[in-house]
Amino acid sequence: EAQVTQNPRYLITVTGKKLTVTCSQNMNHEYMSWYRQDPGLGLRQIYYSMNVEVTDKGDVPEGYKVSRKEKRNFPLILESPSPNQTSLYFCASKLRTGTSGRYEQFFGPGTRLTVL
Protein backbone atom coordinates (compact mmCIF):
# COMPACT_ATOMS: atom_id res chain seq x y z
CA GLU A 1 0.00 0.00 0.00
CA ALA A 2 1.31 3.42 -1.01
CA GLN A 3 1.68 5.51 2.10
CA VAL A 4 3.53 8.08 4.15
CA THR A 5 4.28 7.00 7.71
CA GLN A 6 5.26 9.12 10.68
CA ASN A 7 6.55 8.19 14.10
CA PRO A 8 5.76 8.79 16.82
CA ARG A 9 2.10 9.65 16.40
CA TYR A 10 1.92 11.28 19.82
CA LEU A 11 4.70 12.70 21.94
CA ILE A 12 4.84 14.65 25.16
CA THR A 13 8.27 15.98 26.03
CA VAL A 14 9.97 18.70 28.04
CA THR A 15 11.70 21.87 26.99
CA GLY A 16 15.22 21.35 25.69
CA LYS A 17 15.12 17.58 25.20
CA LYS A 18 16.16 16.82 21.63
CA LEU A 19 13.71 14.80 19.59
CA THR A 20 13.29 13.46 16.07
CA VAL A 21 10.05 12.81 14.23
CA THR A 22 10.56 10.31 11.46
CA CYS A 23 8.83 10.35 8.08
CA SER A 24 9.03 7.63 5.48
CA GLN A 25 7.32 7.10 2.12
CA ASN A 26 7.24 4.02 -0.10
CA MET A 27 6.25 5.71 -3.37
CA ASN A 28 9.73 6.64 -4.61
CA HIS A 29 8.82 10.32 -4.41
CA GLU A 30 11.58 12.87 -4.84
CA TYR A 31 9.79 15.69 -3.03
CA MET A 32 9.07 15.63 0.68
CA SER A 33 7.92 18.35 3.01
CA TRP A 34 7.01 19.11 6.63
CA TYR A 35 4.04 21.22 7.77
CA ARG A 36 2.80 22.26 11.16
CA GLN A 37 -0.82 22.98 11.96
CA ASP A 38 -1.85 25.42 14.66
CA PRO A 39 -5.28 26.78 15.61
CA GLY A 40 -5.96 30.06 13.86
CA LEU A 41 -2.79 29.80 11.76
CA GLY A 42 -3.63 26.83 9.57
CA LEU A 43 -0.98 24.64 7.99
CA ARG A 44 2.41 26.17 7.38
CA GLN A 45 5.39 24.69 5.64
CA ILE A 46 8.52 24.16 7.77
CA TYR A 47 11.06 22.61 5.40
CA TYR A 48 11.01 20.82 2.10
CA SER A 49 13.33 18.63 0.06
CA MET A 50 13.42 18.30 -3.70
CA ASN A 51 15.62 15.22 -3.61
CA VAL A 52 18.33 13.44 -1.66
CA GLU A 53 20.73 15.92 -0.04
CA VAL A 54 18.63 18.89 -1.29
CA THR A 55 16.66 20.70 1.41
CA ASP A 56 15.39 24.22 1.84
CA LYS A 57 13.48 26.36 4.30
CA GLY A 58 9.76 26.83 4.16
CA ASP A 59 7.81 29.56 5.91
CA VAL A 60 8.54 28.67 9.55
CA PRO A 61 11.92 26.90 9.78
CA GLU A 62 13.19 28.42 13.04
CA GLY A 63 13.92 25.80 15.68
CA TYR A 64 13.87 22.88 13.26
CA LYS A 65 16.39 20.89 11.27
CA VAL A 66 15.93 18.29 8.58
CA SER A 67 18.08 15.86 6.66
CA ARG A 68 17.55 13.85 3.49
CA LYS A 69 20.14 11.12 3.27
CA GLU A 70 17.83 8.59 1.65
CA LYS A 71 15.03 9.13 -0.81
CA ARG A 72 12.39 7.49 1.34
CA ASN A 73 13.15 9.23 4.66
CA PHE A 74 12.87 12.85 5.75
CA PRO A 75 13.23 13.23 9.53
CA LEU A 76 12.33 16.42 11.37
CA ILE A 77 14.70 17.28 14.20
CA LEU A 78 13.98 19.58 17.12
CA GLU A 79 17.34 20.18 18.77
CA SER A 80 15.97 22.11 21.74
CA PRO A 81 12.18 22.01 21.73
CA SER A 82 10.24 24.86 23.26
CA PRO A 83 6.55 25.14 24.22
CA ASN A 84 5.81 27.22 21.09
CA GLN A 85 6.63 24.13 19.03
CA THR A 86 3.64 22.33 20.49
CA SER A 87 1.68 21.53 17.35
CA LEU A 88 0.33 18.92 14.97
CA TYR A 89 2.99 18.00 12.42
CA PHE A 90 2.47 16.52 8.99
CA CYS A 91 4.91 15.05 6.51
CA ALA A 92 4.01 15.03 2.82
CA SER A 93 5.49 13.67 -0.39
CA LYS A 94 4.92 13.85 -4.14
CA LEU A 95 6.59 13.16 -7.43
CA ARG A 96 8.93 15.89 -8.57
CA THR A 97 7.58 17.37 -11.80
CA GLY A 98 9.77 20.36 -12.67
CA THR A 99 8.05 23.67 -12.06
CA SER A 100 4.55 22.48 -12.76
CA GLY A 101 3.62 21.30 -9.27
CA ARG A 102 1.35 18.70 -10.84
CA TYR A 103 0.29 15.48 -9.16
CA GLU A 104 -1.14 15.14 -5.74
CA GLN A 105 0.67 15.33 -2.47
CA PHE A 106 0.26 12.51 0.01
CA PHE A 107 0.21 13.25 3.72
CA GLY A 108 1.24 11.19 6.69
CA PRO A 109 -1.14 10.60 9.61
CA GLY A 110 0.29 13.42 11.70
CA THR A 111 2.34 13.67 14.88
CA ARG A 112 0.81 15.47 17.83
CA LEU A 113 3.65 17.02 19.82
CA THR A 114 3.35 18.66 23.22
CA VAL A 115 6.37 20.43 24.71
CA LEU A 116 6.03 21.20 28.41
Partner 1 sequence: GIQVEQSPPDLILQEGANSTLRCNFSDSVNNLQWFHQNPWGQLINLFYIPSGTKQNGRLSATTVATERYSLLYISSSQTTDSGVYFCAVVPGGSNYKLTFGKGTLLTVNP
Positions in the binding site for partner 1 (CB under 8 A): 31, 33, 35, 42-43, 45, 48, 50, 56, 58-59, 88, 90, 92, 94, 96, 99-107, 109-110, 112
Who's near 50: CB < 8 A, 6+ residues apart? 30, 31, 56, 96
CB of 26 to partner 1, least distance (A): 16
Are 74 and 68 contacting, i.e. CB atoms less than 8 angstroms apart?
Answer: yes
Closer of 3 and 80 to partner 1 (Cβ): 3
Nearer to partner 1, 63 or 110 (CB): 110
